[in-house]
Amino acid sequence: MAKIVLRRVTKSFGSKVAVDDLNLEVEDGEFVIVVGPSGCGKTTTLRMIAGFETPTKGTVHIGDTLMNHVPPKDRNLAMVFQNYALFPHMSVARNLSFGLRIRHESKKDIDSQVREIAEMLGITALLDSRPSQLSGGERQRVALGRALLRKPQAFLLDEPLSNLDAALRSQMRFELKRIHSQFPVTTVYVTHDQVEAMTMADRIVLLNHGELQQVAPPELLYAEPLNVFVAGFIGSPKINLTAGHIDRSGDGSALRCLDTKVAVPTEIAERLRSAQGDVVTIGIRPEDVQPCSPLDGQVGRAVVSGRVELIEPLGAETHVAVRVGDEIVTCRTPPRSGLEVGSTINLSFDIEQASIFDGTSGLRLC
Amino acid sequence: MSADQVVATGPEIAAPAVVVPRQRSLARPLLNVLMVIIGIAFLLPMLWLILASLNPQADDTLSVPHAFSILNYHLAIRAGAGAAIKNSLYLAGVSTIIATAVSTMAGFMLARRRIRFKGAFLVLVLFLTGLPVTLLLIPTYQIFVNLSWLNSKFYTSVVLASMSVPFAIWLMKNFIGQVPGEFEEAAAIEGASELHILFRIVIPLVIPGILVSAILTFINSWGAFLIPLVLDANPSDTPGAVGIYQFMSANGQVQFGQLAAYSVLFSVPVIILYLISSRWLSGGFSFAGGVKG
């Protein structure tokens, strides 16, 4: 097992900067997930750790060893590829044992290790099959088995579940976490799927356009996003983002948003003083917006009125999109809410549960 | 409901105003006639060859023998067809092994590795594929004289290989380029060296490509005339293509039957090669199951 440290790592392809000045430390045994939209640099980061790309600037350490110019074969890593990368001309058994044969381990040891891992992953019956005869889930298990047999100092996984159907993905997420608890090897996992990130990671590394946005455990990333991008990327349904204006008139601060004015508690008012200008972005999670009856204004609680535009029943809950002025606010309601499209509805939210970002920089104020 | 009842089942669809008769194109029949003529032009000489080889009284006209006989084959073998074919097999075989080995390794590096001036090098290789052998024959002969390499089947094979290497490199570079790079990355991360990757991963996956390259090299070298004629004057080293030439002039008068039999015998190894390898070539490149899609 080993710690992975990236210090000021930059990777450029000609004039295009894929990864920009990235600092990242993955602790021994930690399961870190690198997530972000397509083209954000997550796969490039993984490939630099693996040794398939050399950083333009900065250093990559695995353990205490500088790895910048160490070839992939000497890094003692294992990788699971998005497209499986199983050797089509070899049987499952030979795919699993490829690394062991390269390292000239004894036939007896190879056979017993292959059988053990096949049994653990439920692929014993497939050992004589070729990859072309396997389903997507089976191929992914074989790829995982090959990586486990490497006994690496770190695992790298490049969107390993992206080619599986939803049910299988859910099952494999559970499998991967179980395997990680059994083999607590340092793991760097790349995905564009935030559900995978939220459910599996010890910490999430969120990238956008090659720049690090935030590194935090899933709950913290969700509850306290550092900027507008993080708030908008993490969470399904997406956070409600609305422009607000700080109203400094009167004896305290208030916020104007969604055609209403809400008085803010003193603590929030003090933090709003550090905003560059009076414009802010307010982020409210759909579960923090509730249908309500009209209430008198309370400090910190806003009530808005709107028209139901879309109702998405999901079984265990319903997502309701409400037009408030020119904006759409999404809220989560229990399954049988009795709402209808076109009906008028009042929504309330607590400003203390909202995330408020500077309107210019996008950075979190409170 | 009777057949003459009108049933309204939906909106009325307007009938087309004019029915345009389908025009017959002359292009396809003309093309077929052209293909037949070309086919005949190719097949007639082959037909003559086979019929003449089985006709003790063969001449330069196409005719069915009164009595089929394999006498011409006996006479052709006695005249040296067997030895000539053995020499051709040596020359073509050795040159194929050399060219295939060189072009596979060069193709791998050109397809997979970042090499300085790779583009310029590839253009140079492409240029070399079009270079006529006659341009190089005199300087090659001079080099052979200086190195005392004349009259050697092995060194003649090396020259034959070098004639095929440029085209073979292009072929192998393109074939290897089709192998998904992830296979090599997966092998590398498992600890495989470059040689491991080449021999255990890439080569097994491009065997159809290697066969194509090898067959083309073999055929090129099999039919080589000028290079063996100039570089190896040893009568016992005479290959088939040179042997046919000598056979024609040695007898003064052309014995068409024996010439045809000699030609058929000389063609047999290449035909067998095609038949054996077509089984592998029809499989094409299959990376099924290795990568998604």
Q: How far is CA B100 from CA B96, B157, B217, B228, in A?
A: 6, 13, 8, 20
* Residue B192 at interface with chain A, using a CB cutoff of 8 Å: yes
A42/B194 Cα distance (integer angstroms): 27
Q: How many Cβ pairs within 8 Å bridge chains A and B?
A: 87
Work out the angle at residue B53's Cα, subtended by the Cα atoms of residues B50 and B58, and round it to the nearest 5 degrees. 110
Of B166, B80, B79, residue with least CA distance to B128? B166
Contact between residue A117 and residue A96 where contact means Cβ atoms under 8 Å apart: yes
Q: How far is CA A201 from CA A70, A219, A310, B86, B142, in A?
A: 28, 10, 33, 69, 72
Which CATH superfamily groups domain A4-233?
A: P-loop containing nucleotide triphosphate hydrolases (3.40.50.300)
pLDDT at B1: 41
Q: What is the mean pLDDT of residues B173-201?
A: 94
pLDDT of B3 strictly over 50: no
Of A257, A242, A334, A339, residue with least CA distance to A303? A257
Residue of chain B with shortest Cα separation from A133: B289
Q: Residue B234 has which token pair?
A: 């040893």
A73/A55 Cα distance (integer angstroms): 17
* Residue B219 at interface with chain A, using a CB cutoff of 8 Å: no
Architecture field, domain B79-281: Orthogonal Bundle (1.10)
Contact residues, chain B, for A77 at CB < 8 Å = 189
Residue B35 neighbours by CB under 8 Å, 6+ apart: none
Of A282, A279, A144, A170, residue with least CA distance to A225? A282
Q: Do A83 and B180 touch (CB under 8 A)?
A: yes
* Residue B292 at interface with chain A, using a CB cutoff of 8 Å: yes
Q: Residue A183 has which token pair?
A: 């083999």
Residue pLDDT tens, chain A, 366 long? 689 999 999 999 999 999 999 999 999 999 999 999 999 999 999 999 999 999 999 999 999 999 999 999 999 999 999 888 999 999 999 999 999 999 999 999 999 999 999 998 899 999 999 999 999 889 999 999 999 999 999 999 999 988 888 888 888 888 888 889 888 999 999 998 888 999 999 999 999 999 999 999 999 999 999 999 999 999 989 999 999 998 877 655 788 888 888 888 888 888 888 888 889 999 999 999 988 876 555 667 788 899 999 999 988 999 999 999 899 999 998 887 788 899 999 999 998 899 999 999 999 998
Residue of chain B with shortest Cα separation from A51: B189
Segments making up each domain of chain B, as ranges: 29-69, 79-281
Q: Which of A52, A99, A163 lies closest to B185 in CB terms?
A: A52
Chain centroid to CA B59: how far? 30
Residue corresponding to tokens 């067997």: B82
Query: Over the Cα atoms of chain A, what is R_g?
Result: 25
Residue corresponding to tokens 């050992």: A127
* Residue B45 at interface with chain A, using a CB cutoff of 8 Å: no
Grade residue B249 by pLDDT with cuts at 50, 70 and 90.
low
Residue corresponding to tokens 């549960």: A353
Of A330, A343, A345, A346, residue with least CA distance to A284? A330
Q: Do B191 and A79 touch (CB under 8 A)?
A: no
Q: Do A98 and B288 touch (CB under 8 A)?
A: no
> What is the β-pairing status of strands A289-292 and A254-257?
unpaired
Complete edge-to-edge strand list for the sheet that includes strand A260-263: A260-263, A254-257, A240-247, A279-284, A355-358
Q: What is the mean pLDDT of residues B16-33?
A: 74
Q: Residue A333 has which token pair?
A: 């309601």
Residue corresponding to tokens 């004057």: B233
Grade residue B250 by pLDDT with cuts at 50, 70 and 90.
low
Q: Which of B193, B204, B289 lies closest to A130 in CB terms?
A: B289
Of A42, A131, A173, residue with least CA distance to B292? A131
DSSP class of B24: P
Q: Where are the alpha helices (DSSP H) in chain B?
A: 27-53, 71-78, 81-112, 118-129, 133-147, 153-177, 181-189, 194-196, 203-205, 207-222, 226-231, 240-250, 256-281
Contact between residue B200 and residue B192 where contact means Cβ atoms under 8 Å apart: yes
Q: Do A98 and B190 touch (CB under 8 A)?
A: yes
DSSP class of A363: B
Of B289 and B139, more confident: B139
Which CATH superfamily groups domain A240-358?
A: Nucleic acid-binding proteins (2.40.50.140)
Q: Do A103 and B288 touch (CB under 8 A)?
A: no
pLDDT at A275: 82
Sequence letter at residue A198: M
Segments making up each domain of chain A, as ranges: 4-233, 240-358
* Residue B215 at interface with chain A, using a CB cutoff of 8 Å: no
Q: What is the mean pLDDT of chain B?
A: 85
pLDDT of B18 strictly over 70: no
Choose, out of B189, B193, B200, B291, the residue to mutate when testing the contact with A (most A CBs < 10 Å): B189
Q: Do B192 and A73 touch (CB under 8 A)?
A: yes
Contact residues, chain B, for A82 at CB < 8 Å = 292
pLDDT at B16: 57
Q: Do B292 and A89 touch (CB under 8 A)?
A: no
